[in-house]
Amino acid sequence: MRGWQLASFALFFGLWELAGRWPVSAAFPPFSAAFLALVEMLRDGSLLKAYLITLQPLALGIVLCAVAGIGFGIGMGLSRSVEWLSLPIFIILQAAPMAAIIPLITYVYGIGLTSKVLAVIMLAAPVIVMNSYKGIRNTPPSLLQMCRSFQGTRRQEVMKIVLPHAAGLIFTGLRLGLAMGFIGIVIAELLITPTGIGDLITYNSSVADYPKMFAAIASIVALAASALYLLERLERRWFP
């Protein structure tokens, strides 16, 4: 597999280099230029500083989402009345373009950390809740009957069967939630006020330093991809 992966990288970056040298647009730098810009931003610390700012609301939002979202999703799975009230809402929220509401948050909460954390939560919560809910609901009926045949109480049923079984999907929900969180923080930084990575992107765009702009964008895409890849490996190891 190693060989193919290297070829894959080479193909992508090779095409990028060629496309950059093609005189179609001045705004599209070749890969080499972007790479050099990345190195420079790493060296002068601007990239690191930007991420320290950007990752704060992301981490905060995801942690809050995880605790509240998983709890709520489990509640939805275990209680028919909670399910009845919340399921249609979350189904709609999953399909809805939440980005439209993000500018509105700034009116109430300003342009600071709170708004950005809220943006992350708004995008990540639906998928975390829905996956936790599905994990609970999809417990194999055969296992539940088995528990009942040994006269297990409802509490034992939940603690020893439903929850352990749901753990896999809950973790998947967290992984997908993190993906949505990245999307949320990027949108927030591009729409609300540019800070951190968003700032690097918009600033360099405005001064036409396209290699740096591309480098910043590539870095966040790469960061998101790596984080998600790690989580997927963990998921496959823990929940075969």
Partner 1 sequence: MIVEVKGVRKTYDNGVEALRDVDLSFPKGQLSTLLGPSGCGKTTLLKIIAGLIPKNGGEVLVNGKAVHGPGPERAFVFQDFALLPWADVLRNVGFGLELRGVERKKRDEVARKYIAEVGLKGFEHRYPAQLSGGMRQRVGLARALTVDADIILMDEPFSSVDEQTRRKFQEDLLDLLRHHQKTVIFVTHSIEEAAYLSDQIALLSPRPGRVSKIVRPAVDRSKSPDEIRRDRGYLDTVDEIWGILRQYV
Partner 2 sequence: MRMLLSLVVWFVLWEIVGQMKFSSIVPPFSAVIEAGIEILPTEKFAKAAIISLRSFGLGMALALAIGIPLGVAMARVKGVGRLLGMWVNIFVSAPISALVPILMAVIGIGETTVVVTVFLFAVFVITLDTQVGITHADRSLVEMARSFGATRRQLYSKVLLLSALPEILAGVRLGAIRGVKGVVIGQLLVAIIGVGELFETYSNNFLMEEFWALVLIVFLFAFAVSEAIAYLERRVEYYAAAR
3-state SS, residue 152: coil
Would you say 78 and 158 are in contact if contact means Cβ atoms under 8 Å apart? yes
Contact 142, 195 (CB under 8 A): no
The burial class, CB within 10 Å (0-12 / 13-18 / 19+), for 230 is exposed
Contact between 164 and partner 1 per CB under 8 A? yes
Question: Looking at beta carbons only, is 100 or 145 nearer to partner 2?
Answer: 100
Q: How far is the CB of 228 from partner 2 (least distance, A)?
A: 5
**What is the x/- site pattern for partner 1, positions 83-122, by CB under 8 A?**
----------------------------------------
Residue type at position 50: A
Residue 183 interacts with which of partner 1, partner 2, none, CB < 5 to 8 Å by class: partner 2
99 binds, among partner 2, partner 1, none (CB under 5 to 8 A by kind): partner 2
Which residues between 26 and 85 bind partner 2 (CB under 8 A)? 27-28, 84-85
Show Cβ contacts of residue 194 under 8 Å, excluding neighbours closer than 6 positions: 201, 202, 203
55, 161, 183, 223: which one binds partner 1 (CB under 8 A): 161
Strands (E), the chain: none
Chosen residue from 59, 193, 205, 235 binding partner 2 by CB under 8 A: 205
Contact 231, 215 (CB under 8 A): no
- Does position 213 interact with partner 2 (CB under 8 A)? The reply is yes
Q: Taking CB under 8 A as the rule, which mask of x and - marks residues 136-155 in contact with partner 1?
A: ----x-xx-xxxxxxxxx--
Q: Which one-letter DSSP state was computed for residue 22?
A: S
Helix and strand element counts for the chain (H, E): 11, 0
CB of 114 to partner 2, least distance (A): 15
User: Does residue 108 touch partner 2 according to CB under 8 A?
Assistant: yes
Q: Are 180 and 127 in contact (CB under 8 A)?
A: yes
In angstroms, give the least distance from the CB of 153 to partner 2.
Answer: 29
* Beta carbons within 10 angstroms of residue 180's beta carbon: 23
Binding site for partner 1 (CB under 8 A): 140, 142-143, 145-153, 156, 160-161, 164-165, 240
